[in-house]
Structure 1
Amino acid sequence: MPARRKAATVAAVGLAPLALTALAASPAAAHGSMGGPVSRVAQCYAEGPESPRSDACRAAVAAGGTQALYDWNGIRIGDANGRHQELIPDGRLCSAGNDEFKGLDLARADWPATSVRSGSYTFEYRVTAPHKGTFTVYLTKPGYDPAQPLAWDDLDLSHPVATATDPVASGGFYRFSGTLPERSGRQLLYAVWQRSDSPEAFYSCSDVTFGGETGAAKGGSSPEPSASAPSDEQIEEGTGRSTVEHHGHGDDDAGTSAEPVAEAASAGPAADANAPQAAGTSRRLAETGGSGITPYLAMGGAATLAAGAAIVFGSVRRRAVNGVGRLGR
């Protein structure tokens, strides 16, 4: 093979992996959690990761560290693809089986709760990176006992209280309507957001009370804090402490994939002594992510690289052929 043609082939072959890399490098991004009724993790983050007010949130920090609260918008499984019950064991629903968030699985009757009533309800999902997909919200069955670990059988899976596909995000929230059935006392809403542009799914637990105030703890021993969502200012302030990729849609971490990977340690002051050392060993990050435009940007870059390789190959090949023709003359 002539030297020029060989060089063109090498160039084309060398650029092809770069194009594929650009496609594969679409990073995962933080996405959100239920904001109304507020989820456990968002509620505890709103209280303040370093000094939460409620007994339940303090217990969650004691069990799993403060980093889980800074990562409030990252309870997810990257390769879920609808296999929620298969991948998440009983007793681990609120953490989605992720050890970093294990404090959220504590079976307690004093989690700060949102007061609700039966009837129509507008759900609000706090989102930090919008994606196409379907939201499904389930309510616990009558007789639910919050002092027992939450199991799939505790949820009325046959009758979701809300479903919404591709709602439009506005003001930092997805809003969609549902209907709460008749219940009494303390219950729990379990939200699943399954993306359609990726196998990734997100999960959250929201504690609610029907037909009563949230200010009196069970037994009347002490006031129980009402649930409240984090403010925009709180979310902004905690961004630097989060280890979840968001807004800019990722870093250059090669470990961002659909396979279980070790959690990246926070840099500098973001590192927290209470955070579990192996917090992310069961964490699954998404194969694709970022905003809806991110994969297309990656595809465009890959296409450009591939086109460039083709041009280089074609140009050198034509020169080689013309050179042979001239020699023939």
Structure 2
Amino acid sequence: MTARRRILPAVAALGVAPLALTALAASPASAHGSMTDPVSRVSACFQEGPESPQSAACKAAVAASGAQAFYDWNEVNIGDAAGKHREIIPDGKLCSAGRDKYQGLDLPRADWPASDLSAGKHTFRYKATAPHKGSFELYITKDGYDPSKPLKWSDLESEPFAEVKDPTLTDGDYVFDGDIPKKSGRHLIYSIWQRSDSPEAFYTCSDVVFGKDSGAAANAPKAAAPSNDQIEKGAEESTVDHGGHGGDSAHEGHKAGDDAAKTDGAGNAPEAKGGGAEPVAAEEDLAETGGDSTTPYIAMGGAAVLAAGAAVLFGTARRRAAAGRRHG
């Protein structure tokens, strides 16, 4: 076997490694999840069924956002929030985190499916399809809150009534306690999950009722959280990998909401699907074990080193082959 033939397999192997590392570096790590006790709006509508929701509020939300937003119930996020929630999310768009993809969640109406609550200690549950280190802050609306008007930051109490860092993860749920202040009638609980291993943050709106609902909300349905079986089945239609890998990439074969899911260049809808799953998984594993925003640059540096090595190796093989022909 000539030197050239011996060296080609090695060059090919080295050539693949930089490509894999480059794909890894280009894939953002994403956490995923949503509040399920009390049930968030996006969770409630996913539970009803994105293709055929039952409640008037969820029907209107799907009409506004498309069904895909509710298959992607666990990704109401901002990738570079870094704690600047009030600065980057405008009034009236708190529930969607300012993303057009989820604009249906911002509809001001008093008949959203709601959870019954009472003042005092409550155990909260947050379904984490991709757990990560971070902290939760829970806010509740002020007395006099009007659900028929767009939700503003000023509608929330100025301080969170519950805060927790790295809560216990039990059977796929973050579980933590908080003391709910005394309220009456319909209110809203707003949660912020800020990762500590990334600038990414997640947001939820949960409609709740203290005592008796009234007015237009009197006949509103009770909110129900999706079951694990529903989550597993719904993952087939989601553009968000549920094992903690990737996020918001196009999913082939989806039946509805495709028109609403086109990108606008601002991360408001799925991007084109591409690349293998394994490099993305590797990136996500790094994030789960403490990797930070420098990880992609380390990966790209490694790719560059390997690429340079491949070039040197290939050049050496060519020189040896040429020398052999001369002496032959």
TM-score normalised by the chain length of structure 2: 0.76
Match status 1:47 vs 2:48: yes
Kept after mapping to 1: 8 A contact 2:66/2:260: yes
For the pair 1:161 / 2:161, whether they are aligned, the reply is yes
Give the distance between the partners of 2:232 and 2:112, measured in 1 at CA: 25
Question: How many angstroms apart in 2 are the aligned matches of 1:205 and 1:236?
Answer: 23
Partner of 1:24: 25
1:144 matched to 2:145? The reply is yes
**Do the aligned residues in 1 keep the contact of 2:130 with 2:244 (CA within 8 Å)?**
no
Task: Kindly indicate whether the alpha-carbon contact (under 8 Å) linking 1:138 and 1:160 is maintained by their aligned counterparts in 2.
Answer: yes
Tell me what 1:218 maps to.
215
For the structure 1 residues 313 and 281, does the alpha-carbon distance in structure 2 shift closer, same or farther, using more than 3 Å as the test? Answer: closer
**2:284 partner letter:** G
Root-mean-square deviation (Å): 3.6
> Secondary structure in 2 aligned to 1:38?
coil
Give the counterpart of 1:267 among 252, 272, 276.
Answer: 252
The question of 1:283 aligning with 2:267 is answered yes
Shift of 1:168: 2.7
Residue 28 of structure 1: CA displacement? 3.1
Map of 1:88 onto structure 2? 89
Local SS of the residue matching 1:189: strand
Partner residue in 2 for 1:242: 238
Deviation at 1:293, TM superposition (A): 3.8
- Aligned residue for 2:70, secondary structure, equals helix
Alpha carbons 1:18, 1:302 under 8 Å: kept: no
- Which residue is 1:179 aligned to? 179
Segments of structure 2 that go 5 or more residues without pairing to the other structure are 1-10, 271-279, 315-328
Letter in structure 1 aligned against 2:229: E
Map of 1:228 onto structure 2? 224
CA distance in structure 2 between the aligned counterparts of 1:232 and 1:15, rounded to whole angstroms? 38
Which amino acid in the other structure matches residue 205 of structure 2?
Answer: C
SS of 2:251 mapped into structure 1: coil
Hey, what's the Cα distance between the residues in 2 that align with 1:298 and 1:196? 17
Name 1:260's counterpart in structure 2: none
Unaligned runs of 5+ in 1: 1-9, 251-255, 257-262, 317-329
2: distance between equivalents of 1:97 and 1:199? 16
Q: What does residue range 97-176 of structure 1 map to in structure 2 within 5 Å?
A: 97-157=98-158, 159-176=159-176
Number of aligned residue pairs: give it.
289
* Partner-residue secondary structure (3-state), 2:113: coil
Most deviating of 19-28 and 58-67: 19-28
Contact kept? 2:120, 2:180, Cα under 8 Å: yes
Structure 1 distance, partners of 2:262, 2:214, is 34
Letter of the 2:39 counterpart: V
Query: What corresponds to 1:4 in structure 2?
Result: none
Are 1:26 and 1:294, in contact at CA under 8 Å, matched by a contact in 2?
Answer: no
Whole-angstrom CA distance in 1 between matches of 2:16 and 2:238: 35
Identity fraction in percent: 52
Provide the rounded CA distance (Å) in 2 between the counterparts of 1:71 and 1:197. 22
Q: Which amino acid aligns with 2:237?
A: R
Q: 1:154 to 1:219 in 2, by over 3 A?
A: closer
What per-residue deviation string (whole Å, max 9, x for no partner) do you get for residues 60-114 of structure 1?
Answer: 0111111111000010000000111111100000000111110000000000110
Shift of 1:57: 0.4
Task: Label 1:246 to 1:124 Cα distance change in 2 as closer, same or farther (>3 A).
Answer: same
Residues 195 and 305 of structure 1, relative CA distance in 2, 3 Å threshold: same
Partner of 1:143, secondary structure, is coil
1:70 has 2:71 as partner:
yes
Partner of 1:61: 62
Residue pair 1:19, 1:301 contacting (<8 A) in 2 also: no
Q: Is the 8 A contact 1:15 1:305 kept in 2?
A: no
Shift of 1:176: 0.9
Question: Match of 1:210, as an amino acid?
Answer: F
Report deviation, 1:51.
1.1
State how 1:180-219 maps to structure 2 within 5 Å: 180-212=180-212, 218-219=215-216
Give the TM-score normalised by the residue count of structure 1: 0.76
Q: Counterpart of 2:215 in structure 1: which amino acid?
A: K
Give distance in 2, aligned partners of 1:217 and 1:75.
29
